[in-house]
Chains A and B, each alone.
Chain A
Amino acid sequence: GDSVTQMEGPVTLSEEAFLTINCTYTATGYPSLFWYVQYPGEGLQLLLKATKADDKGSNKGFEATYRKETTSFHLEKGSVQVSDSAVYFCALSAPNAGNNRKLIWGLGTSLGVNP
């Protein structure tokens, strides 16, 4: 079945360091891919998305490219800030047998950024 595998955390970085959070998926068909972020005490927010192969999603300095050949959607940021400390979720969305939403979530990666 479809699945999303995300690198385990927690990840701890110093401010201005480069960030990569790995996400790989297995899916039949052509899913859409998402990164969500959850700040302490809040719900999840959409960070970026890509709906087809080679699409690059970007937002707030974060980027991720939909790589069909490696079935990956790794999240990157060139210079992290303390305010980026949060939990990051990779997710896959595809139509199920009834053409409704099937959403598969990674387990989340906790990021802490030290000043």
Chain B
Amino acid sequence: KAGVTQTPRYLIKTRGQQVTLSCSPISGHRSVSWYQQTPGQGLQFLFEYFSETQRNKGNFPGRFSGRQFSNSRSEMNVSTLELGDSALYLCASATGGYNSPLHFGNGTRLTVT
């Protein structure tokens, strides 16, 4: 079974631009979560989607948004990029139950200059 696929692996953007990251979950998984990982803040939860509906949201500004499609694929968008948005963005899929483990992709490394 194919794992979670995130594209692109690396991205360099300048301040003020916007970016869209993509995540394809494991087949059959309906839950997709997004995390931001930085050396200083650790792993920070952004949001979770289940069957195209956002059902959990972390404490990030409105510049961070996401969506999920009917095939469970998900995208995350960051508008008006800031230097502090430089991070590894991780996507994880799960079957949906609260105690089902997350399966992570290898992440997208975003650098904002």
Contact = CB atoms under 8 A, between A and B. Distances in A.
A103 B45 CA distance: 9
A93 B55 contact: no
Contact of A43 (B42, B56, B104): B104
Contact of A94 (B33, B56, B98): B98
Contacts of A68: none
B67 interface: no
Contacts of A99: 98
B26 interface: no
Interface string A93-113: 111101111110101100000
Interface size, B (range) = 20 to 34
A98 B55 contact: yes
A12 B93 CA distance: 32
A77 B15 CA distance: 45
B90 A43 contact: yes
SS of A interface (majority): strand
Contacts of B33: 103
Contacts of A25: none
B59 interface: no
Contact of B101 (A46, A89, A95): A46
Contacts of B45: 103, 105
**What are the 4 A-B residue pairs with the smallest beta carbon separation, nearest first?**
A43-B104, A32-B99, A101-B98, A46-B101
Given A49-B101, A100-B56, A101-B48, 19 more contacts: A32-B99, A41-B106, A43-B6, A43-B90, A43-B104, A43-B105, A44-B92, A45-B104, A46-B101, A89-B43, A98-B55, A99-B98, A100-B48, A100-B98, A101-B98, A102-B56, A103-B33, A103-B102, A105-B42
